[in-house]
Amino acid sequence: MNSLFALLGIDAWKPVITVLLLPPVPLLVLVLAGARLILPRRWLGWLLVLLGVVGLWLSCCTGIGDLLTAQVLRPPAALSSEQLSALKNDVKARRAVTIVVVGGGRTDHAPEYSSSSLTHHSLERLRYGLWLGRETGAPVGFSGGTGWSEAVGAAESEVAARIATQEFGRSLQWTENESRDTRQNARLTVALLKRLDITRAVLVTHDWHMPRVLALFKQAAGDGIEFQAAPVGATTGVRENHLLRWWPTVDGFARVRHVLRELLATLAGT
């Protein structure tokens, strides 16, 4: 599917297609279709309305988001203390290791800073990547250009490099600033890592994003580079089972959309 997008020259339509296929749009269409059918086919109309409303409710529940993440995406666990120690030892042994922070978007202009900034997803990933670099001594790099849905401006990696220096007091050792989506993140970053003779890379992104990132990076690298997952926001298990997990919330809606978006992107090969 990704090759078809490229062949037709409609890569820039990916964000629009994603919006149309993910909640709430399909569920709202279902409700409207049911409302239209209530008079001529009462039972079918009410059934569609009910399904749409229940779907809207569930798509906003943190419980559904956690369940889909654990059972469908099956992301790797967060780095353990033992894995962190092993990474430190690799750096001390002068093995060619680097930390790769995969971008999650930028804002063209943050008025409070009078400049462009990172989305909260990108900032979380950058923060953790820099923390890993400080703890292990491994060099840190950032992959991210200008996304298909973003306005023309500074590349995401350029914004990340500025924030890393000015706000965290640490420098990025390399940046990849031409990618526009996750597949390009993998292809362009792997090419850069090979030029730098890197043999092991620690990938930093959110847990719901990690399965697709790992697959694409491994596909792009072949057998030349070993990849290790270092997910951000990974849950430590099933959260406390209380009723609020099954009430609609903004966080629940975002979580469900992230999971469904990853499934859609995987099916489309993007």
103 in the same domain as 199? yes
Instruction: Show the domain range for 21.
Output: 2-73+246-268
Confirm whether 237 is domain-assigned. Answer: no
pLDDT in tens, 175-204: 999 999 999 999 999 999 999 999 999 999
Q: Domains in the chain: how many in total?
A: 2
Confirm whether 182 is domain-assigned. Answer: yes
Q: What is the mean pLDDT of the chain?
A: 91
141 in the same domain as 113? yes
pLDDT in tens, 195-232: 999 999 999 999 999 999 999 999 999 988 999 999 99
CATH number (domain holding residue 193) = 3.40.50.620
DSSP 10-47: -GGGHHHHHHHHSTTHHHHHHHHHHHHHTTTSHHHHHH
226 in the same domain as 92? yes
193 in the same domain as 67? no
214 in the same domain as 87? yes
Half-sphere exposure of 64 (CA within 13 A, CB side): 23
Report residue 36's pLDDT band, with 50, 70 and 90 as the boundaries.
very high
Q: How many residues does the chain have?
A: 270
Q: The pTM is what?
A: 0.90
Neighbours of 43 (CB within 10 A): 9
pLDDT in tens, 47-79: 999 999 999 999 999 999 999 999 999 999 999
226 in the same domain as 97? yes
140 backbone dihedrals φ, ψ, rounded to 5°: -120, 135
Rounded Cα distance between 129 and 140, Å, is 7
122 in the same domain as 37? no
Confirm whether 241 is domain-assigned. Answer: no
Confirm whether 238 is domain-assigned. Answer: no
Distances (CA, A) of 222 to 54, 68, 105, 216, 218: 44, 29, 27, 10, 6
Question: What is the CA 111 to chain-centroid distance, rounded?
Answer: 25
8 in the same domain as 128? no
